[in-house]
């Protein structure tokens, strides 16, 4: 039986090597266009899909996703990038002190949330909250990123996917006018949008 399992693993690697070590995490941090664009830059990320999660509404849309947050579904290769590294980049692309939305986008749809799959994911997320508080020099209670159990992910409409690359000028104008990068630079300084290790 163990030989059969080994053969299945080897076969899966040969047939689809990208997905053999693929794992997923769902993150909310304001506008999903921005979060998708920022996380795609990390080595080991296979794909980032914009969508909705966290609420009870079935088949949410951009016009009606009441109770859901705008989120991204991050598919990553755990042999190349760790969940801790993804959380670190996530934090440095949001304002974790703001639980009422992100930048110019206000309200429940835009508040920062990490959706965890299991206790290991939750522990990693909790560690990242603590690391962020230390780097920012604030008490842990000031970090307003909610940790919630993972719920159903609903993929957003096609025109939202890969928006930054398909609508470069519109995306850059939105991002600048929303003040996202200006606030990130003020908050995280030289580590804004950085994959560097957490500061001590």
Dist. CA 179–CA 30, nearest whole Å:
12
Q: What tens digit of pLDDT does each residue of 108-120 get? A: 999 999 999 999 9
| Residues taking part in catalysis | 31
Single pTM value for the model = 0.87
Dist. CA 166–CA 164, nearest whole Å:
6
Backbone phi, psi, residue 35, to 5°: -65, -40
Sheet holding 154-155, edge to edge: 146-149, 113-116, 22-28, 69-77, 45-53, 154-155
**pLDDT value for 10:** 44
**pLDDT value for 198:** 86
Q: Which residues of the chain have pLDDT under 50?
A: 5-18
Q: What tens digit of pLDDT does each residue of 27-71 get? A: 999 999 999 999 998 999 999 999 999 999 999 999 999 999 999
**pLDDT value for 199:** 74
Positive/negative CA dihedral, 159, 163, 167, 169 = positive
Neighbours of 191 (CB within 10 A): 19
**pLDDT value for 22:** 83
């Amino acid at each position: 039986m163990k030989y059969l399992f080994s053969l299945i693993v080897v076969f899966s690697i040969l047939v689809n090597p990208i997905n053999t070590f693929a794992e997923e995490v769902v993150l909310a941090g304001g506008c999903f266009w921005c979060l998708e664009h920022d996380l795609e830059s990390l080595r080991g990320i296979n794909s980032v899909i914009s969508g909705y999660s966290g609420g009870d509404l079935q088949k949410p849309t951009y016009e009606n996703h009441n109770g859901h947050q705008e989120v991204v579904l991050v598919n990553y290769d755990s042999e190349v990038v760790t969940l801790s590294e993804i959380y670190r980049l996530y934090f440095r692309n949001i304002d974790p002190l703001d639980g009422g939305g992100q930048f110019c986008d206000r309200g429940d749809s835009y508040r920062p949330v990490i959706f965890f799959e299991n206790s290991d994911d939750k522990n990693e997320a909790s560690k990242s909250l603590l690391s962020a508080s230390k780097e920012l020099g604030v008490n842990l209670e000031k970090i307003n990123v909610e940790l919630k159990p993972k719920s159903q992910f609903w993929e957003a409409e096609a025109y939202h996917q890969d928006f930054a690359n398909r609508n470069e000028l519109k995306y850059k104008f939105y991002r600048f006018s929303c003040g996202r990068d200006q606030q990130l630079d003020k908050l995280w300084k030289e580590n804004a949008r950085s994959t560097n290790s957490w500061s001590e």
